[in-house]
């Protein structure tokens, strides 16, 4: 479902920004299938939006002051696309998000304060979820609500396109990452892993976590950032036969890198940036004998 090119807001308001809307508007448009309220100044969404029973596409992107969605949003059972891109102040989604059984696209990129509820795991038909932020073993927020964990990805095998996993804290048990079954996400083509980084101290849990995050062999692009173990040697690296782009940045403590990237036959782009501790790159890097 795509948004129309023309905005739903009258032309007289094109140079203004909506700060609120309520019953008066919704009572007149109850048959709406598409509602685009992006790039406005909304700070809250009224409960009356739950009356839009036919809504398929709802875009609230770039409302940077929007802090939460009302629970009544979970009544929009026909909703297929929810866009919340760059809602910087957004802190939570309703616990009942799992009721949105027809939701296929949930866009939350650049929602830096957002904590996803555990109910997202019920959306097994979800195709788009570009970004999740993992809070480590603090799996309950200040409101005592259960938060989405890596293991909750296990049944979300319809995810496709690009996917970013950002760790706000380190995992204490890497088995949680393995339970996410990334290897079964065959439609993902791009994966970015951004670890929680202490610039002054290496962290062996990063190596365990990375090994547990084995992606599908269909992956075409992989980015690893702020990895703080001394060795970068995931056992699955050479299985990525379709990998075309590999980006490794801010891996400050790596002193040993022995994954033979020369065996990645499809690799076209390799970026290695800000590796402070590397002293030598040997031919084992290519998967052959000898010394460079």
Of the two residues 272 and 122, the one the predictor is more confident about is: 122
The strand ranges marked E within 103-258 are 105-107, 131-134, 160-167, 187-194, 221-225, 245-249
Q: 69: helix, coil or strand?
A: coil
Band (122; pLDDT cuts 50, 70, 90): very high
Q: Exposure of 285 by Cβ count < 10 A (0-12 exposed, 13-18 middle, 19+ buried)? A: middle
Domain assignments of the chain as residue spans, ordered by start:
1-114, 123-292
Q: 23: helix, coil or strand?
A: helix
Spacing of C-alpha 205 from chain mean position: 21
pLDDT tens-place string over residues 134-190: 986 555 555 556 899 999 999 999 999 999 999 988 888 889 999 999 999 999 999
pTM strictly above 0.95: no
pLDDT tens-place string over residues 6-56: 444 443 344 467 887 767 778 788 899 999 999 999 999 999 999 999 999
Specify the CATH number of the domain 123-292.
3.80.10
Of the two residues 63 and 197, the one the predictor is more confident about is: 63
d(CA 126, CA 104) in angstroms, rounded, equals 4
The DSSP output letter for 177 is H
Helices (H), 108-254: 175-178, 205-212
Fold matches, 1-114 and 123-292: yes
d(CA 136, CA 99) in angstroms, rounded, equals 26
Fold classification of 1-114 (topology level): 3.80.10
Supply the mean pLDDT for the chain: 86
d(CA 47, CA 83) in angstroms, rounded, equals 18
């Amino acid at each position: 479902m795509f948004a129309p090119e023309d905005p739903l807001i009258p032309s007289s308001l094109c140079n203004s920004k909506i700060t609120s809307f309520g019953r008066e508007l919704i009572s007149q448009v109850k048959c709406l299938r598409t509602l685009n309220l992006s790039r406005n100044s909304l700070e809250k969404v009224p409960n009356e939006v739950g009356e839009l029973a036919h809504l398929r596409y709802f875009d609230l992107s770039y409302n940077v002051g929007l802090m939460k969605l009302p629970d009544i949003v979970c009544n929009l059972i026909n909703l297929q696309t929810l866009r919340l891109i760059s809602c910087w102040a957004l802190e939570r989604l309703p616990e009942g998000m799992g009721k949105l059984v027809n939701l296929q696209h949930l866009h939350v990129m650049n929602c830096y304060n957002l904590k996803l509820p555990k109910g997202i795991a019920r959306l097994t038909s979800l195709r788009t979820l570009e970004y999740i932020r993992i809070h480590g073993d603090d799996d309950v927020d200040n409101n005592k609500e259960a938060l989405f964990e890596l293991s909750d990805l296990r049944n979300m095998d319809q995810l496709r396109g690009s996917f970013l996993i950002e760790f706000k804290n380190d995992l204490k048990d890497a088995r949680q990452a393995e339970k996410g079954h990334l290897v079964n996400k065959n439609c993902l083509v791009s994966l970015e892993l951004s670890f929680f980084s202490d610039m002054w101290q290496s962290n062996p849990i990063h190596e365990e976590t990375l090994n547990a995050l084995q992606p599908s062999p269909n992956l075409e692009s992989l980015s690893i950032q702020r990895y703080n173990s001394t060795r970068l040697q995931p056992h699955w690296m050479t299985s990525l036969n379709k990998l075309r782009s590999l980006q490794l940045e801010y891996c400050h403590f790596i002193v040993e890198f022995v994954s033979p990237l020369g065996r990645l036959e499809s690799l076209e782009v390799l970026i290695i940036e800000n590796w402070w501790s590397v002293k030598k790159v040997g031919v084992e890097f290519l998967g052959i004998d000898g010394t460079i």
